[in-house]
């Protein structure tokens, strides 16, 4: 997939200064960079899609079969799995985009961009509210905010915020021809201003979420260290691991897209072709790391969540019993759902 670069006008008396286009090949030749991206990203995305679909659908099955959705933590985990699946749905389209350009039309361009952006923001928002929920449960245990109508309102509000944050991707994305090959189409933001606004919105959102979650975990840690009943806080460890992986994955990506935004301000250090190529390669690597987050959460449920492992073992046993030829083979009894979280 071709990236965007600066094109400066030759005559500033007739055109405004710093008129930007997508015509990067007139500044830097990036055939090698584009070739690397068209091979590495689709292969990696294909693996991520398979793992994410398997892992997150398994999480939904375990929640539906064994657990009570009266637990706020379980509700958040269910929505987080849905968010990861939504994010995953965009990866096959982007894989094709990196290989052949955009061949799905303008409506699909807007829809996939919106779904993809909503998946990112909803993951971040649900991780943030999960952290706040653990903060209230540990630091302010006498609070009753998890009961009553507010329980149902929290996930709904989280989705409203996520969808609102993703609206620019829906409104500003469009199919545009490649200036060097008009037959090749790309799905991208329709203007540089829209691209920069989306980049900085994502940067700011990540920083705000990081500050909120950092404050919550510092206070949680202070409270837990003073408590004698530390075994009660396995859920905190699980959520902390998921949050940590989210930021480890998305922070480098956001740093790189922030640095790439400087190429649109005619800063010589960033318009140099070698620097631009290195940023493109860094973007490919960071994109692989960031986009893989959607398949990693189930892995942490399995390694950190004791009840999740037990439920997973039971599903395996049920599957084995079904494939046995003896029709009288007794089935394994299921464990009824509990009122707490599955972790």
Mean per-residue pLDDT over the chain, rounded: 79
Q: 88 pLDDT band (50/70/90 cuts)?
A: very high
Highest mean pLDDT: which of 55-64, 205-214, 239-248, 332-341?
205-214
Cβ-in-10-Å burial (0-12, 13-18, 19+) of 103 comes to: middle
What are the residues facing 35 on neighbouring strands? none
Q: In this predicted model, what pLDDT tens digit does every residue of 200-212 receive, in sequence order?
A: 999 999 999 999 9
Whether 230 shows a pLDDT value over 50: the answer reads: yes
Mean pLDDT for the stretch of residues 55-61: 89
Cβ-in-10-Å burial (0-12, 13-18, 19+) of 328 comes to: exposed
Q: 340 pLDDT band (50/70/90 cuts)?
A: low
Question: Which domains does the chain show, CATH number per domain?
Answer: 32-320 (1.20.1070.10)
Output DSSP code: residue 334.
P
Whether 125 shows a pLDDT value over 90: the answer reads: yes
Whether 54 shows a pLDDT value over 80: the answer reads: yes
What distance in Å separates the CA atoms of residue 147 and residue 60, rounded to the nearest whole number? 23
Mean pLDDT for the stretch of residues 173-189: 84
pLDDT > 90 in the chain, percent:
29
Q: In this predicted model, what pLDDT tens digit does every residue of 26-48 receive, in sequence order?
A: 456 666 666 666 777 788 888 99
Going from the C-alpha of 29 to that of each of 2, 249, 310, the distances in angstroms are: 11, 29, 54
Whether 10 shows a pLDDT value over 50: the answer reads: no
- 5-14, 27-36, 273-282: least confident range: 5-14
Going from the C-alpha of 39 to that of each of 17, 95, 212, 222, the distances in angstroms are: 37, 9, 38, 47
């Amino acid at each position: 997939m071709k990236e965007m670069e600066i094109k400066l006008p030759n005559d500033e008396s007739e055109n405004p200064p710093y008129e930007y286009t997508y015509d990067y090949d007139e500044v830097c030749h990036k055939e090698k960079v584009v070739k690397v991206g068209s091979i590495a990203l689709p292969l990696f995305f294909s693996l991520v899609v398979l793992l994410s679909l398997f892992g997150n659908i398994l999480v939904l099955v375990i929640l539906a079969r064994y657990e009570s959705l009266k637990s706020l933590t379980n509700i958040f985990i269910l929505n987080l799995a849905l968010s990861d699946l939504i994010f995953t749905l965009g990866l096959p389209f982007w894989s094709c985009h990196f290989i052949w350009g955009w061949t799905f039309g303008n409506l699909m361009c807007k829809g996939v961009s919106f779904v993809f952006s909503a998946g990112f923001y909803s993951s971040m928002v649900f991780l943030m509210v999960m952290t706040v929920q653990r903060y209230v449960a540990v630091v302010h245990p006498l609070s009753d905010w998890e009961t009553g109508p507010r329980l149902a309102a929290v996930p709904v509000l989280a989705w409203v915020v996520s969808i609102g944050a993703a609206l620019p991707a829906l409104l500003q994305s469009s199919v545009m021809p490649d200036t060097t090959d008009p037959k090749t189409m790309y799905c991208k933001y329709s203007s540089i201003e829209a691209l920069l606004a989306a980049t900085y919105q994502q940067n700011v959102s990540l920083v705000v979420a990081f500050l909120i979650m950092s404050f919550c975990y510092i206070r949680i840690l202070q409270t837990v260290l003073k408590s004698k009943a530390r075994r009660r806080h396995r859920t905190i460890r699980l959520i902390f691991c998921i949050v940590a992986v989210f930021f480890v994955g998305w922070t480098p990506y956001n740093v790189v897209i922030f640095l790439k935004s400087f190429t649109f301000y005619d800063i010589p250090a960033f318009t140099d072709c070698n620097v631009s190529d290195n940023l493109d390669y860094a973007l490919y690597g960071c994109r692989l790391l960031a986009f893989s987050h959607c398949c990693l959460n189930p892995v942490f449920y399995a390694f950190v969540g004791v009840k999740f492992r037990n439920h997973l073992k039971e599903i395996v046993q049920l599957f084995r019993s079904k494939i046995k030829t003896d029709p009288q083979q007794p089935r394994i009894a299921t464990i009824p759902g509990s009122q707490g979280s599955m972790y």
